[in-house]
Amino acid sequence: MLVIRKEQMDALRADKIRRFANDLSAVIRIKHNRFFRYYSDEQLHVWVMNQIKYLEKYNIDTDDTIKKAIDLLARYGENFERCPDNRWALNILELDDYTASHKISLLVYEAAEQGAV
């Protein structure tokens, strides 16, 4: 019988996240080049990894929801949800009884309605 240890699962998960962040960094570089043109590939990768860690605190943890959330953060600025005029965004992230998908849908909708910044 095949036995997979917790350490192996953790290593597999870390590798998956690293590869996902690499792919997402390339997309962000193309889509938001104006904002990230002075970032090296490594700096952009670190930025994406930091956003993934940050989003995990709010249970934004599926590939699709992470992509959409990072797109918002790239478009409106890191920590835009903490600006006084954008308190609505942090309120949405802190909704414990909403799924990641619902939170992101609300964020995208409200960002469009509010003009975000």
Give the pLDDT confidence score for residue 20 in this predicted structure.
95
Question: What's the whole-number average pLDDT of the chain?
Answer: 90
The C-alpha atoms of residue 61 and residue 6 are separated, in whole angstroms, by 19
The C-alpha atoms of residue 64 and residue 41 are separated, in whole angstroms, by 22
User: Whose CA is closest to 107, among 61, 50, 60?
Assistant: 60
Give the pLDDT confidence score for residue 71 in this predicted structure.
94
Whole-model pTM: value is 0.84
Give the length of the chain.
117
Q: What pLDDT digit, counting tens, does each position of 79-88 carry?
A: 888 787 888 8
| Extents of the domains making up the chain | 6-114
Q: What pLDDT digit, counting tens, does each position of 4-14 carry?
A: 788 888 888 89
Give the pLDDT confidence score for residue 6 in this predicted structure.
84
Q: How far is CA 53 from the centre of its chain?
A: 8
The C-alpha atoms of residue 51 and residue 28 are separated, in whole angstroms, by 12
